[in-house]
Structure 1
Amino acid sequence: MAEEFVKSVEDGLKLSKRVYFGNDRSVAPPKPISMYKSEQSHLPTAPMIYAVISDPGMVDNPDVPSYQPHVHGRCDPPALIPLQMNKISVEADCYLDTAFVTVTGSWRVHCVMGSRSCDCRLVIPMGEQGSILGVEIDVNRRSYSTQLVSIDGQADTDKLAKEEDGGFLKPQMYTLTIRQVEGGSNLSVKVSWSQKLLYDAGQLTLNVPFDFPEYVTPAGKKFAKREKIQLNVNSGTASEVLCKTTSHPFKETRRQVGKLGFLYEADVLTWSSTNISFSYVVSSSDTLGGLLLQSPSVHDLDQREIFCLYLFPGNNNSKKVFRKQVVFLVDSSESMRGTLLENVKSALNVALSKLNPEDSFNIIAFNGETHLFLSSLELATKETIEKALQWISINLIAGGGTNILLPLNQAMEMLSNTSDTVPLIFLITDGSVEDERDICNFMKKQLANRGSISPRISTFGIGKFCNHYFLQMLALIGRGYYDAAFDLDAIEVRMQSLFTAASNIILANITIDSFEHLEAFEAYPSQIPDLSSGCPLIVSGRYQGKFPDVLKARGTKADLSNFVIDLKLQRAKDIPLERVYVKQQINLLTAQAWLSQSKQLEDKVAKISIQFGFSSENTRMILLQTEEGKQASQSVDIQEIPNKVDLQELVDSRERKIVFLKGLGIGFGDLDATAKSISPRFGDSQLPEIAGEVFINAASNCCNKLANCCCCYCCIRVCSHMNNQCMIALTQLCSALACLGCFSCYDICCD
C-alpha cells in the first residue's frame, strides 16, 4: 500500500502542474520528481490531505479557470495531489510516559474545478506507539466525526468496510477518506492521538511529525500563514522538571514543581520543515518513586478509586545492573526468509555486542526443530561472540515450520542453575501456533516453581500473522517485556529497544506494601516487572479501601542487597490517570480474555474502549456524517446485529450516514498463513504468493512455467493503464494476428 501511495503522489505532483496561479504566486512551483532524493520523500511526515483524482480533466484552479488541453483516459490507481494548507496548530500534553496530541488545521481543495468534486484523503503520521483517538472534519455544511462502537459479528462489518475509507497506510500512519468534496472547498480538521514518550538515560522526549513539504504552502502574496505549538508537561512527580532540547523557539509560559508550559507562535513564509522535538528530565540522580491517587469521574463505568505507581530509574549511569544469563530464541521458519531474517540477524548482532564479558548467553534457532549454537551457556568473551556471529551468518537459514514450546523448554533447562543473576529469555517470532494457550498455562506452572529468580521472558512479534496477545500474555507471565514491529524497516530499532529495556535490570523482585490489604484490587500488569535503567516502571489500576500514609517499595539490587524507597502519595487533580493507562489496560485485558476465552472480559474491554476512545479488538471505528441543520442524534451503540441484511438496513436508515472503517486491532494471529510459511507484509490485502496461486488457477490457458513472469493478471494490469486509443489499436492488432493464425490453419487443413 505504501508503494502504491508513493506512486500516486508522484502522479499527483505531475498533474498539479495543470493548476495555473497566474503571476501572483509567492512560492516556487513543485520541484520536478527527479530532484527528490528517494520515494520515501513522498510519504507524509506531517498531517496532510490529498485530492484523489481519477479523472485528470477535473484538475484546474477553482477560482480562475484556465485553458487546459483535453486529457484522455483515467488515473488507475487514482493520483493524489497534496492540498495546500491554510493554518496549523498543535497542542501536546505530556503525563508520566504518555503524550496526548491534538492537531487542528485547514486545507483547501485548490486543484479541482469549482463545478467538480473529488474524494479527499487525510493521512495522519503519529509518534511512538501512536493510537488514533478521534477525527473531526467540517466541509461545505457537512461535518464528520469518528466514533467507536461495540459490534458482535465483526465479519459482517468487515464486508461493509472499504479499504480506501480508513485504516493504516503504514504502522503509525492512519488514513481516512472524505467523499465528494467540491473544488475550492476548505476542510477544517481536528485530529487527536496518544503516543509514548521516548526514554533514554533519564531523559524523556516527545517527537511529533511536523515536517511539511514545500508544495503545501498556499499561493498568493497576501495570505497570512501562522503556525502554533503549545506544550504542557506534568511529570506527576514532586520534583523539578528541567528542559533539555527543543526543535522550535519555544517561550516558557509556566513553571511549577513537576510542571512546565511552553508556547511557540509565529507568522511564517513557509510551513515548518522540522518535526516537533522536546526533551526534559525529572531532576533526580537516584531512583524516584511515587503513588498517584484519583477518584473516578461521575460518568466512569468503574467507580473504584484509581491509582498509578511510578518508578523512574534516574539519570545515574553508574548504577550496577544484574549480570545477564540470556538465551535468544530466534524463529527460523520458512516465513522468515529474505530481508526479514536479515534484519533480525543485524539486531541480534548488535544485542550480542552489548553483552559484558561476565555475562553468559546461548542462541536457539527454531522452526519445526531446534538448532543450538552451544549445548550450554557460555561466557560472552570476545572469541565466543565472534563464533556466535559466524554461526548466525551460516546456520540461521529460513526453512521449515514453527514450534515454540520446544525451544522454550530447552531455554528453561539451560537457565535452571542461577543464583546472582536474573535469567532472561528473548523470544522472536513472526508466526502463530495451535498450542499457544497450552504454552501459557505450562509456562505459568514452570515459573511458579522457580520462585523469585525465575527466568524473565521477553517477547518480540513481527508482522500481523503472529498472535501478539499470546506474546503479551507470555511476557506478562514471565515478568518480562513485549514489543513488536509491523514494518520491516522497524525490526532492528524495535528489537534493540526491547533488549535495552529488558536486559539492563537494576532492581528485581519489586513488592509494594499494603497492596494485598486493599479490597477489589486490580493492577495492570498484575505482576510488577523489574525496574530497568532503560525505561520507567508504571503500574496502574483500581482499588477499594485506603492506602496508608507511609508506603514503601522493596526490591533486590544487582549486588543482592535489599532496596527500600518511600513512595510519595499524591492526589492527581490535573492528570487524567484513567486515560494515561487505559491503552495498557485494554491490551492486557484483551490478552487475558484470549487466554481464558471469557466473553465477560471481552465485553469489559469493549465498554472501556468506547468510554475512553481507545480502539480495541472488540470495537470498531465508524465515521458519522451530519448535514448542517439536522439535529445530531445520540451516540450510536450497536450491541447485537443478527445478520448482514439487518446491518445494511441499519446503516441506510439512520439520519446520519454511517461508514464502517477498517478495524484498528492487530488480530490474534493467522495459523493458516503460518502453516503455509507466508512471510508477513504489513498493509497488503493479498500477498504476492497467494495472488500468484489464484491467477495461475484462474488462467488455465497460461503455461505454469510462464505464470511467474507473464500471466493473465500481468496483461490485465498493463491494459488497465492504457488509454482508449491504445487499447483499440492493441485489440485490432490481436484480431489481425488471430486472423492470420486462422488462415494458416486453413491452409494446412486444406492441403
Structure 2
Amino acid sequence: MDEESFTQAVDEGLNLAKRVYAGKDRSMVPPRPKNAFEARPVSLLPSGPTVYAVISDPAVVDNPDVPSYQPHVYGRCEPPALIPLQMNGVDMQVDCHVDTAVVSVSGRWRVHCVMRSRRCDCRLVVPMGDQGSILGVEVDVARRSYSTRVVQIDEDQKIYKIDKSNGGFLKPHLFFITIPQVDGGCEISLKVSWSQKLLYKDGQFAVNIPFNFPDYVNPFVKIFSKREKIQLNVNSCTGKEVVLQRTSHPLKEKGRHVGSMSFLYEADVEHWSKKDFHFSYSIYSNNLFGGVLLQSPSMQDYDQREMFYLYLFPGNSQNRKVFRREVVFLVDISGSMRGKPLENVKNALSAAILELTPTDSFNIIAFNEELYSFSSSMEPATEDMIENATQWISKNFVAEGGTNIMQPLNEAMELLSKTQDSLPHIFLITDGSVEDERDICGAMRTQVANRGSMAPRISSFGIGTFCNHYFLQMLSLIGKGHYEASYDPDSTDVRMRRWFRRGLSPVLADISVDIFDHLNENEVFPSHIPDLSVGCPLIISGRFEGKFPDSVKAKGRVADMSNIVVDLKVKNTKDIPLEKVCAKQQIDLLTAQAWFSGSKQLEDKVVKLSVQTGIPSEYTYMILLEDEEEKQDTLKQPKKDKRKRSKSREQVTIQAHEMTVGFGSIIATAENLPTGYGEPKPPPETFAVLNKAVGCCSSMCDCCCCMCVIKTCSKLNDQCVIALTQLCTALSCFGCFECCSELCCSDE
C-alpha cells in the first residue's frame, strides 16, 4: 500500500464511520464541528501513532455497545477501508543519549466501529522523526499477545506467506504493521519503540516527535477520563551543564545532575494532544570537546568484545574558522530526475553556492551520458561568478538521457588535483544505479590513497530507492565525506541543504585517535574517520579488546593548517543502551562493506547484529509473531472450547516488507523511471464499494453506472437511502409486470 491508496482508504473509512451510532445523549459526545467527519485535516496521513480497523465488509460496521438499525450494504470494499479507532490512553517516554533519541509510545485503542459478533484486522501506523528506525512492537488484545522479531529466513524455508499489505513502510517515516482478527468492542494495548537522530544546529540539540491526534480518535463519551503522559530523560554524557531552550508541552523538571536532567508532563485532557512534541537543549562550550564511553557486553551478546562510543563536538563559538574550500558539485540530470527532484536540487544547490566566500573556489558538472561543465577550471566564488552559476544552473539543468557516474568523478578529481592550503570536496547527487559501481569505489579508493591528506572529500546524496544507497555510503566512507539520502520528494530540499551545510563547514580535518593503534584488537565505525563540521557532532563507535586508559587524545588539523590535540575523558557507563544507539550506523556500514567486498562473513555479521538488536537489515526480516506463552494458555481451556479456539488461535506470523532500501535498480535507472519511494506504482485503481458494479458502464452509453450510483448514495443520509431503495423496488416490480405482459401477448 502506498501513500495515495492509504489516504483514499482512510477517506472511505471516515465515510463508513458515519454508520457508528454515538448514543442518544448527544451531550455525552465531545464537542466537534457540525460535520465532524467532513471537516477533516488537510492530510489524512497520521501525525501520531494511530490504529485503524481494516474493513472489507462494510456490513460489520456498527457500535458494539449500542447496536442500531443500519441499511444493509452489499458487496465488499476493495481495497479495504481504514476506520481510525478511538484512543483511550497514551504514554510516551523519550530517552536522549548524545545524538540519539529512543522513543517508546504505549497506548490503548478500542475497536468501537465493529459489531461484537464480528471481527476485523487492525493496522498500527507509526510516524517517526528524523532518520527513524523501528525497534519493536508489542501487542496485547483479548488474551492474545504479539511481538515483533527480526529473523533470518532461508529461501526454501516457507514459514509464512508474504503479503505486502500486512506491514512495512508507507513512506520512509511511516511504519505500519497489521494485527490479525480482533473482535468488535475489544481494547488493543500497544507499545511501539523506535530510535531517531537528534537534530543539531548552532550548538543546540532538538528532538521532534509526531504527537498530534485528530478529533475523530477521541472517544464518544465525554466523561471518559483521557490522560496523556510524556516522560523525557536527557543524558548528554558530556559532564557539562545542559540548558533547556524550548519545549512544546508544559514539562515539569523532576531531576537534574551534571550533564543530565529529567522531565514529566502528565494531565487529564478533553482532547488528545494537538501538536507534535518538541524539545531542545544546548550544551555550552566555546571549545572543541569530546569523550569516550565504555560498556561491557551483555551475556546474550554474540560479540563479547567491549564496546566504545567516541563523540566530538564543535563547540558553540560562532567565530570559529572553517577551512578554505575548493568544491566541485556533481549533479545527475538524467531523465528520471525530471520534475520535482531536479527542482529541489536546483534550489538547494543555489543556496549552497551562496554560502561560499570569495576566497573559496568552485565548479559545477551536470551529467547524464555526457558532461556539462560550468567552467573548464575552478572559479572563485565572487558575487558575479555565483550569479553566472545560478543562471547556468537554470539553463542547463534539463532532465534527459541516462546515467554515467565514473566519468564526472574522474573529471572532478582532475579539477582538484592541484589543491593547496584548502580542503577539496566533491558533492555527488544522483537518483540512479549503474553497473560499474564496484569499479568506481575501487578507482576512488586508489586515488584517495595516492593523494593522502590532500585527497578530496567525497560526499554523496541519494534520491529515491532506485539508486544503490550502499554504493553511495561506501563511496563517502572511502572519501571521508558525508552520506545523506531522501526517499521522499517532499523532504529532499531540507535534507540536501543540511547535507551541504555539514560538508561545507569543516572545523577539524584528518582526525586520528592514538588509542586505536595500541589496543589488542579493534573494529571502528566508520573505519575512515570523517571531518568534524560545525553542522554536526562526530560519532565513532565500535568494539575492542584490550584496556582503555583514563583519557585518550584525538589529533587533527584546523583551518590555519596547524595541528591540535583534543583530550577525551574515558568513562564506563551502564545507563545508556550503547548497543541500540550504535546499531543502525554499524548495520548500514557493515552492509556497505559486505556489498563492496562480496564477503559472506560480513553478511553473517550483519545478520547477527540485526537479530540481536531488532533492527531489520538487507539480510533479515521483521515479523509480528504470536507469543508462545499465550498459545499455551489457550490449550489449557476447557475441552468444549478447545476445538473452536484451536482453529482461530493458530500461531500467526506476519512479515513487514520494504523495511530497507535494497541495492538499487539498474533496470529502473536505464528506463528512466520517475524517482520515488518503493516499487514503481501501477495505474491507479478505482476504489470500489461493490465489485459487481465494475464494468457495467457500457450500458446507458457510459453516462451512468452502478459505481456512480453507489458513490452518490454513499453521500446520502439513511432516510433518503431507504426511500430510494423502496422506489427502485417499485420500479422493478413495474418492469417485471410489463415484461410478463409482453411475453403473454407474444404467446397468444
Whether the TM-score (by the shorter chain) exceeds 0.5 is yes
1:270 is displaced (CA, Å) by 0.6
**Residues 360-375 of structure 1: matches in 2 within 5 Å?**
360-375=361-376
Q: Which residue of 1 aligns with 2:637?
A: none
| Contact 1:620-1:663 within 8 A present in 2 as well | no
Q: Which residue of 1 aligns with 2:409?
A: 408
Q: Which residue of 2 aligns with 1:687?
A: 681
Residues 610 and 154 of structure 1: CA distance in aligned 2, closer, same or farther (over 3 Å): farther
Residues 729 and 172 of structure 1: CA distance in aligned 2, closer, same or farther (over 3 Å): closer
1:72 is displaced (CA, Å) by 3.6
Q: Which residue of 2 aligns with 1:600?
A: 601
Residues 99 and 718 of structure 1: CA distance in aligned 2, closer, same or farther (over 3 Å): closer
**Bigger mean CA deviation after superposition, 324-333 or 619-628:** 619-628
5+ long unaligned stretches in structure 2: 635-646, 703-748
Aligned residues: 686
Residues 727 and 375 of structure 1: CA distance in aligned 2, closer, same or farther (over 3 Å): closer
Q: Which residue of 1 aligns with 2:88?
A: 86
1:221 is displaced (CA, Å) by 2.6
Aligned with 2:669 (options 654, 669, 674): 674
Deviations 1:689-736 (A, max 9, x none): xx6xxxxxxxxxxxxxxxxxxxxxx8xx559566747866855879xx
The answer to whether structure 1 residue 27 and structure 2 residue 41 are counterparts is no
Q: Which residue of 2 aligns with 1:128?
A: 130
Deviations 1:251-302 (A, max 9, x none): 1111111111111111111100111111111221211111112222222111
Q: Which residue of 1 aligns with 2:651?
A: 656
1:526 is displaced (CA, Å) by 0.6
1:550 is displaced (CA, Å) by 3.8
Alpha-carbon separation, structure 2, partners of 1:382 and 1:538: 36
Aligned with 1:48 (options 50, 60, 65): 50
| Contact 1:461-1:484 within 8 A present in 2 as well | yes
Deviations 1:75-98 (A, max 9, x none): 232221111000000011111101
Secondary structure class of the residue paired with 1:274: coil
Alpha-carbon separation, structure 2, partners of 1:372 and 1:730: 56
**Bigger mean CA deviation after superposition, 472-481 or 65-74:** 65-74
The answer to whether structure 1 residue 203 and structure 2 residue 197 are counterparts is no
Secondary structure class of the residue paired with 2:582: helix
Q: Which residue of 1 aligns with 2:453?
A: 452
Alpha-carbon separation, structure 2, partners of 1:297 and 1:144: 25
1:57 is displaced (CA, Å) by 2.1
Identity %: 58
**Residues 295-694 of structure 1: matches in 2 within 5 Å?**
295-626=296-627, 629-631=630-632, 656-683=651-678, 685-688=679-682
| Contact 1:62-1:114 within 8 A present in 2 as well | yes
**Bigger mean CA deviation after superposition, 175-184 or 322-331:** 175-184
Q: Which residue of 1 aligns with 2:77?
A: 75
Secondary structure class of the residue paired with 2:63: coil
Which residue type is aligned with residue 680 of structure 1?
T
1:29 is displaced (CA, Å) by 4.7
Secondary structure class of the residue paired with 1:290: strand
Alpha-carbon separation, structure 2, partners of 1:196 and 1:582: 13
Q: Which residue of 1 aligns with 2:62?
A: 60
1:345 is displaced (CA, Å) by 1.2
| Contact 1:626-1:632 within 8 A present in 2 as well | no
Alpha-carbon separation, structure 2, partners of 1:479 and 1:206: 27
Alpha-carbon separation, structure 2, partners of 1:574 and 1:156: 40
Which residue type is aligned with residue 171 of structure 2?
K
Residues 49 and 653 of structure 1: CA distance in aligned 2, closer, same or farther (over 3 Å): closer
**Residues 149-228 of structure 1: matches in 2 within 5 Å?**
149-153=151-155, 160-228=161-229
Alpha-carbon separation, structure 1, partners of 2:261 and 2:694: 64
Which residue type is aligned with residue 375 of structure 2?
L
1:109 is displaced (CA, Å) by 0.7
Secondary structure class of the residue paired with 1:408: helix
Secondary structure class of the residue paired with 1:473: helix
Secondary structure class of the residue paired with 2:669: helix
Alpha-carbon separation, structure 2, partners of 1:132 and 1:667: 17
Alpha-carbon separation, structure 1, partners of 2:239 and 2:61: 58
Alpha-carbon separation, structure 1, partners of 2:471 and 2:483: 10
| Contact 1:252-1:263 within 8 A present in 2 as well | yes
1:548 is displaced (CA, Å) by 3.0
Alpha-carbon separation, structure 1, partners of 2:612 and 2:478: 28
Alpha-carbon separation, structure 1, partners of 2:444 and 2:557: 24
Deviations 1:547-595 (A, max 9, x none): 2334211111111122111111111221122221111111111111001
Q: Which residue of 1 aligns with 2:119?
A: 117
Secondary structure class of the residue paired with 1:630: helix
Secondary structure class of the residue paired with 1:223: coil
Residues 626 and 3 of structure 1: CA distance in aligned 2, closer, same or farther (over 3 Å): same
| Contact 2:116-2:185 within 8 A present in 1 as well | yes
Alpha-carbon separation, structure 2, partners of 1:627 and 1:528: 45
| Contact 1:72-1:724 within 8 A present in 2 as well | no
Which residue type is aligned with residue 466 of structure 1?
C
1:113 is displaced (CA, Å) by 1.4
Alpha-carbon separation, structure 2, partners of 1:677 and 1:509: 39
Alpha-carbon separation, structure 2, partners of 1:423 and 1:155: 50
Secondary structure class of the residue paired with 2:261: strand
Deviations 1:659-714 (A, max 9, x none): 2321412101111111111122214x4435xx6xxxxxxxxxxxxxxxxxxxxxx8
Q: Which residue of 2 aligns with 1:107?
A: 109
1:357 is displaced (CA, Å) by 2.2
Alpha-carbon separation, structure 2, partners of 1:654 and 1:443: 56
Please provide the CA RMSD for this pair. 2.2
Alpha-carbon separation, structure 1, partners of 2:331 and 2:13: 43
Alpha-carbon separation, structure 2, partners of 1:658 and 1:632: 18
| Contact 1:142-1:627 within 8 A present in 2 as well | no
5+ long unaligned stretches in structure 1: 634-651, 692-713, 735-751
| Contact 1:458-1:478 within 8 A present in 2 as well | yes
Residues 459 and 619 of structure 1: CA distance in aligned 2, closer, same or farther (over 3 Å): same
Residues 288 and 412 of structure 1: CA distance in aligned 2, closer, same or farther (over 3 Å): same
Residues 155 and 292 of structure 1: CA distance in aligned 2, closer, same or farther (over 3 Å): same
| Contact 2:594-2:603 within 8 A present in 1 as well | yes
Alpha-carbon separation, structure 1, partners of 2:5 and 2:398: 31
**Bigger mean CA deviation after superposition, 290-299 or 263-272:** 290-299
Deviations 1:123-176 (A, max 9, x none): 00001100011111111222111100012339978x932111101011111011
Alpha-carbon separation, structure 1, partners of 2:294 and 2:628: 43
Residues 555 and 396 of structure 1: CA distance in aligned 2, closer, same or farther (over 3 Å): same
| Contact 1:621-1:663 within 8 A present in 2 as well | no
Calculate the TM-score normalised by the size of structure 1.
Answer: 0.88
1:609 is displaced (CA, Å) by 0.7
Secondary structure class of the residue paired with 1:227: strand
| Contact 1:306-1:542 within 8 A present in 2 as well | yes
Alpha-carbon separation, structure 2, partners of 1:73 and 1:178: 24
1:186 is displaced (CA, Å) by 0.6
Residues 453 and 18 of structure 1: CA distance in aligned 2, closer, same or farther (over 3 Å): same
Residues 351 and 47 of structure 1: CA distance in aligned 2, closer, same or farther (over 3 Å): same
Alpha-carbon separation, structure 1, partners of 2:349 and 2:551: 44
Secondary structure class of the residue paired with 1:135: strand
1:375 is displaced (CA, Å) by 0.7
| Contact 1:84-1:217 within 8 A present in 2 as well | yes
1:465 is displaced (CA, Å) by 0.7
Deviations 1:630-673 (A, max 9, x none): 3399xxxxxxxxxxxxxxxxxx9996322232141210111111
Secondary structure class of the residue paired with 2:631: coil
